[in-house]
């Protein structure tokens, strides 16, 4: 049966105003029947978007039942291994945005892609966070410490399915983090961008570029309420005299 014929039949049923609404209702009914019975069904945590100082100090987490699936067959030789999951939601209208953070399997995961608006199901692609950015806006490095779950990459993936990627220079790294109340506090200035202490033992990484455009999306949620900030950081020297090597917080040259 063609879509036009199906749409014509629906005109006799006033429950739905169009074929798309009927399709969505049918899909939801099918999903509801067996969603939680699936072997890959899990209850994970979804963090509320950090939009103010209160949520920054005390993040709010909500439980949500989802299916976790491998998004594609990843080669065994790949560098990424199991760092990606596709999250399928029971509710096709579930509110999730680019740059949101989920927690499961004792890790934090960043939403790096969302499903098309043309899809009946609701799904997102998440990548495992492997670093935590810690810094403060005060000269007292032990107070008001900001912590951001982020992804540090020594390579840029071009195609996940074919395992194609670009390796960055040894002293460079790309960092992805949520574009939210905390993320926009990272600075990039000609006088010196925000420094981070990462690794064990600590290495100092200085922000040298800041992109809050290419992975952001203007939406009805409002500007700056969705998306990802992309940083380029370069290896620098640890300042043993000023950096807090106990708490892992670097001194900032712009203080």
Q: What pLDDT score does 158 carry? A: 61
- Which two tokens mark 23? 């399709």
Whether residue 88 contacts residue 77, with contact meaning beta carbons closer than 8 Å, is answered with no
- Which two tokens mark 196? 């981070």
Rg (CA), the chain: 22
Q: What pLDDT score does 144 carry? A: 92
DSSP secondary structure, 83-108, as one string:
-EEEEEESSTT----TT-EEEETTEE
Whether residue 101 contacts residue 47, with contact meaning beta carbons closer than 8 Å, is answered with yes
Prediction pTM value: 0.82
Strand blocks (E) in the chain: 41-47, 61-69, 84-89, 101-104, 107-114, 122-128, 131-135, 146-153, 155-159, 164-167, 172-178, 195-198, 203-211, 228-236
Q: What pLDDT score does 154 carry? A: 87
- 243 domain-assigned: no
- 229 domain-assigned: yes
Task: Report the distance separating Cα 2 and Cα 52, nearest Å.
Answer: 50
Task: Report the distance separating Cα 100 and Cα 164, nearest Å.
Answer: 26
Q: How many other C-beta atoms are found inside a 10 Å radius of the C-beta of residue 238? A: 16
- 241 domain-assigned: no
Q: What pLDDT score does 3 carry? A: 47
Range of the domain at 134: 38-236
pLDDT in tens, the chain (255 residues): 444 554 554 455 555 555 566 656 666 666 666 788 889 999 999 999 999 999 999 999 999 999 999 876 655 455 556 888 999 998 888 999 999 999 999 999 999 988 655 555 689 999 999 999 999 999 999 999 999 999 999 877 666 666 667 788 889 999 999 999 999 999 987 667 999 999 999 999 999 999 998 888 665 545 456 799 999 999 999 999 999 999 999 999 888
Give the ranges where the chain is alpha helix by DSSP (H).
Answer: 3-10, 19-34, 53-57
Q: What pLDDT score does 42 carry? A: 96
Q: What pLDDT score does 225 carry? A: 60
- 11 domain-assigned: no
Q: What pLDDT score does 76 carry? A: 47
- 249 domain-assigned: no
Domain count, the chain: 1
pLDDT digits (tens, 9 = 90+) for 91-111: 888 999 999 999 999 999 999
- 26 domain-assigned: no
- 217 domain-assigned: yes
- 71 domain-assigned: yes
Whether residue 173 contacts residue 233, with contact meaning beta carbons closer than 8 Å, is answered with yes
């Amino acid at each position: 049966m063609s879509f036009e014929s199906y749409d014509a039949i629906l005109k006799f049923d006033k429950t739905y105003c169009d074929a798309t609404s009927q399709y969505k209702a049918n899909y939801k009914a099918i999903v509801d029947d067996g969603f939680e019975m699936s072997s890959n069904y899990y209850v994970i945590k979804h963090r509320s978007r950090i939009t103010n100082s209160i949520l920054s100090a005390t993040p709010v987490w909500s439980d949500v039942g989802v299916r976790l699936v491998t998004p594609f067959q990843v080669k065994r030789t790949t560098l990424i291994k199991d760092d990606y999951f596709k999250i399928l939601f029971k509710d096709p209208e579930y509110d999730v945005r680019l740059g949101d953070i989920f927690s499961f399997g004792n890790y934090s995961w960043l939403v790096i892609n969302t499903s098309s608006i043309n899809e009946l199901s609701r799904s997102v692609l998440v990548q495992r966070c492997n670093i935590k950015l810690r810094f403060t806006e005060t000269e007292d490095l032990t107070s008001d410490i900001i912590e951001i779950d982020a992804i540090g990459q020594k390579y840029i993936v071009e195609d996940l399915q074919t395992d194609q990627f670009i390796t960055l220079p040894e002293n460079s790294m790309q960092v992805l983090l949520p574009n939210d109340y905390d993320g926009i506090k990272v600075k990039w200035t000609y006088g010196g961008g925000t420094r981070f202490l990462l690794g064990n033992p600590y290495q100092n990484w200085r922000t040298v570029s800041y992109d809050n455009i290419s992975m952001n999306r203007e939406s009805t949620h409002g500007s700056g309420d969705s998306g990802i900030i992309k940083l380029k950081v370069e290896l620098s020297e640890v300042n043993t005299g000023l950096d807090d090597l106990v708490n892992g917080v670097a001194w900032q040259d712009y203080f």
